[in-house]
Structure 1
Amino acid sequence: MDMSLKIEQGEETKRQILKVARKLFGKNGYNNTSIEDIYSSLNLTRGALYHHFSGKKEIFYEMCRVYNHELVQELENWDWREFRKRWSETLDLTEDKNFVQIWIKDLASVLNAKEMSQLDEESIEKSITVLLEGAIRNGSIRKIPTKEASQMILGMLNQALLVLSELEGDSLLRSKKNFIKVMNLFLDSLES
């Protein structure tokens, strides 16, 4: 068998494992999803799954890493004006039950603080930092420490998502409106 074809098939198997795991973790939660659930959903053997991943936690981490990269793909094309106009769309993630299960309910109990920080740093925080650096260069915002500012923005977004995921009805609408107001005041303070 051609080696490049074998590598390509292996990468496809890995993508399928992550896709199925994301669906199962989102639907059932991390604790209620077993390795057996994942490999049997794909008609794989246990050995085939362990060829790609050392266990369920590694699958969860890699699935989160891939999901983060998906979330920032659009953000990477935004300038400051687009970010100001659209950042609040992030809060709509609380309407996605799978997102809430994985990112709000399970993440902190599965991964340690260093692992969670690493996930944020390599994609979302990095993208916000690049966005802020571009905004400084074109004069949209004043010169600020971009790494720390991106960490603040990400922290505010994460906290808003956490709080909003627990609310519904009028309380949800009121809090969402208030989070948008507060974040916009913070973003206003960065502008030149």
Structure 2
Amino acid sequence: MVEKRKTQAERRAETRQQVLDSACHLFGKNGYNNTSLEEIASNCGLTTRPVYHYFGNKLALFQAVNDVMVSRILDIQHQPRSGDKTSRFMAIWEAFLNLCDDPGFRQVVLIDSPTILGRERWKNSPVTARAESLLLNHQQGSDGLFRQKLLSRMAIAAMAEAALMIAEAEDIQQAKQEAREVVNLAINLL
């Protein structure tokens, strides 16, 4: 059987994906500041020319890597869940903790992204919007909306910080259990 020859568009898409995969790996392993475009290109057997062609610069490539990693959070947020609002939230929290077991995810999303891409990007992200929709009580009307948004933002920031603390713990499983208990206690106090 003769293999079908790839189109120019297919080859370009493949090359772009190779660069993105290499960048995900290296930014996740070494961090933004310790990864060069030359290393990324070399890792996938290319020169830097395709990197610049598809992404423009290091920051734009990092944004694309961050988007790939953040899409993993969106994927877990959109999985169908049963039970009440609290149990659905706890299931998402558990899935997020499991993502944080991935050192590349931790490095890109939790450590480098806030510094490199800025706090505004996270604040206005689809992840934050989805988390706010899970945390907001829409039946209370607009009177307490600011308070609800404030509480949801504080919860999101606290959970991101907790995920970093868990990732740095000597006993990650014990740290996760403690985090489950603390988050459950906080939710029950609300």
- In the superposition, the TM-score normalised over structure 1's length comes to 0.73
Overall identity of the aligned pairs, in %: 29
Matches within 5 A, 1:62-77: 62-77=64-79
SS in 2 for 1:89: helix
1:130 to 112, 128, 133: 133
Matches within 5 A, 1:20-169: 20-79=22-81, 80=85, 81-113=87-119, 117-132=120-135, 136=138, 145=145, 147-169=149-171
- In the superposition, the TM-score normalised over structure 2's length comes to 0.74
The root-mean-square deviation of aligned C-alpha atoms, in Å, is 2.9
SS in 2 for 1:77: coil
Question: Matched residues in 2 for 1:152 and 1:99: separation?
Answer: 22
Can you list the C-alpha shifts for 1:82-104, whole angstroms capped at 9, x where unaligned? 22344233223343222233234
Amino acid in the other structure paired with 1:89: A
Taking structure 1 as reference, are residues 51 and 121 closer, same or farther at Cα in structure 2, changes over 3 Å only?
A: same
Question: Matched residues in 2 for 1:32 and 1:184: separation?
Answer: 37
The residue aligned with 2:185 is 185
Question: Matched residues in 2 for 1:124 and 1:26: separation?
Answer: 20
Amino acid in the other structure paired with 1:51: H
Amino acid in the other structure paired with 1:107: S
Per the TM alignment, residue 108 of structure 1 is displaced from its structure 2 partner at its CA by: 4.1
Question: Matched residues in 1 for 2:151 and 2:8: separation?
Answer: 44
Kept after mapping to 1: 8 A contact 2:162/2:179:
yes
**Gap runs ≥5 in structure 2:** 1-6
Amino acid in the other structure paired with 2:107: Q
Size of the aligned set, in residue pairs, is 176
The residue aligned with 2:20 is 18
* More moved, 84-93 vs 32-41: 84-93
Question: Matched residues in 1 for 2:45 and 2:173: separation?
Answer: 43
Per the TM alignment, residue 173 of structure 1 is displaced from its structure 2 partner at its CA by: 5.0
Per the TM alignment, residue 59 of structure 1 is displaced from its structure 2 partner at its CA by: 0.9
Kept after mapping to 2: 8 A contact 1:129/1:150:
yes
Amino acid in the other structure paired with 2:185: L
Taking structure 1 as reference, are residues 120 and 16 closer, same or farther at Cα in structure 2, changes over 3 Å only?
A: farther
Taking structure 1 as reference, are residues 8 and 131 closer, same or farther at Cα in structure 2, changes over 3 Å only?
A: farther
SS in 2 for 1:84: helix
Question: Matched residues in 2 for 1:108 and 1:121: separation?
Answer: 12
Per the TM alignment, residue 127 of structure 1 is displaced from its structure 2 partner at its CA by: 1.4
